[in-house]
Amino acid sequence: MSILSLKNIQYTYPLETEPVIKNVSLDLEAGKVYGVIGGNESGKTTLCNIMRGFIPELYKGTLSGDVLFNGKSISEYNIGELAAHIGYSFQNPFTQISGVKETVSEEIAYGMENLGVPREKMIQRVDELIQLFQLDDLKDKNPFELSGGQKQRVALASIVALDPEIIILDEPTSQLDPKSTEDIFKIVKHLKKAGKTIFLVEHKVDLLAEYCDEILVMSAGELVMKGKTTEILTDEKVVQYGGQLPQVTLYFLQAFGNQGKVPLTVAEAFSLLKGSE
Ligand code: ADP
């Protein structure tokens, strides 16, 4: 059974006449990493907000169709409950810091405090997360003193602290430098190993090619492509839909056409070219 199912979702924002999400159906399997691409304003963020129950609860508007978490409609959960199952992090690390805690350790513990996690367990969990997110040197610092990449790691740690089964990341690296971006992707890899299901909206397709099991393509509110990373990110239709293909894949397609195997990464391209010598 899929962990999260969207069934015929259609959504219109308040005071709007046109739906921005049109007939989207989707099943997420537990433990997989899904990369989500598509043009600007194609509905990716709206879809994330539907999956975590913020739409329609907070944004209102008109939603039809069903969202099921472990087979049960998410409308049966309250938003706080749902946040413990479906974690969400978005692109701006600066606005994700609570502003009420003075150290990184306290910030990570904040969500757990709100959920009433026992103190002993909370301390142990914060320690684990500090190791995992490489925050040891920063744990006593004020979260506001951190760089963008460090803040994003703290924001993610606070979400992972609640041990959600699904983690939705909406362009988590869009404001980060390449090194901090790699750090976030390494964390994604670790979370996958820990059995989490990850829904990652991200433009950096070279990295998606490396880390995702499946790719979804959104265009004008519709889910227009969905499949294994190797199938989707070698298909030129992605570009027509406003998405991108990895650099090396585009180069290969231009140079050799869509004949035989098309590489997704530089390493794959090397071995293909070597094999054809
Ligand atoms: P993406 O994340 O792919 O850039 P969005 O989900 O942010 O796309 O936006 C999809 C569409 O919904 C866009 O046309 C956008 O203008 C519209 N939209 C987003 N937020 C709101 C809102 N709060 N009220 C009305 N329209 C909105």
Three-state SS for 124-185 is: HHHHHHHHHCCCHHHCCCCHHHCCHHHHHHHHHHHHHCCCCCEEEEECCCCCCCHHHHHHHH
Question: Ligand 1: does its nearest atom lie under 6 Å from the Cβ of 45?
Answer: yes
The tokens for 216 are 């979804």
Question: Ligand 1: does its nearest atom lie under 6 Å from the Cβ of 16?
Answer: yes
Distance linking the first and last C-alpha atoms of the chain: 45
Residue nearest atom 12 of ligand 1, based on CA coordinates = 20
Question: Ligand 1: does its nearest atom lie under 6 Å from the Cβ of 177?
Answer: no
Strand order in the sheet with 86-89: 86-89, 166-170, 197-201, 33-38, 214-219, 222-228
Ligand 1 centroid–CA 46 distance in Å is 6
Question: Ligand 1: does its nearest atom lie under 6 Å from the Cβ of 231?
Answer: no
109-118: long-range contacts (C-beta < 8 A, 24 or more apart)?
109/161, 110/158, 111/83, 111/158, 111/159, 111/161, 111/162, 112/161, 112/162, 114/80, 115/80, 115/84, 115/162
pLDDT at 47: 98
Question: Ligand 1: does its nearest atom lie under 6 Å from the Cβ of 17?
Answer: no
Question: Ligand 1: does its nearest atom lie under 6 Å from the Cβ of 13?
Answer: yes
Residue nearest atom 27 of ligand 1, based on CA coordinates = 13
Q: Find out whether the peptide bond into 19 is cis, omega within 30 degrees of 0.
A: no
pTM (two decimals):
0.93
In which residue are the tokens 């990850």 written? 198
The tokens for 52 are 């975590």
pLDDT at 55: 94
Ligand 1 centroid–CA 21 distance in Å is 9
Those residues with Cβ within 8 angstroms of residue 70's Cβ, 6 or more apart along the chain or in another chain: 1, 3
Which residues of the chain carry a pLDDT beneath 70?
92-94, 276-277
Inter-residue contact 204 to 37 (CB < 8 Å): no
pLDDT at 277: 60
Helix (H) or strand (E) holding 123: helix 119-132
What tens digit of pLDDT does each residue of 60-82 get? 999 999 999 999 999 999 888 89
d(CA 29, CA 129): 25
Inter-residue contact 188 to 200 (CB < 8 Å): yes
Enumerate the β-bridge partners of residue 36. Answer: 201, 216
pLDDT at 273: 84
d(CA 48, CA 45): 5
d(CA 266, CA 249): 9
Question: Ligand 1: does its nearest atom lie under 6 Å from the Cβ of 40?
Answer: yes
Inter-residue contact 189 to 208 (CB < 8 Å): no
Inter-residue contact 87 to 167 (CB < 8 Å): yes
Question: Ligand 1: does its nearest atom lie under 6 Å from the Cβ of 62?
Answer: no
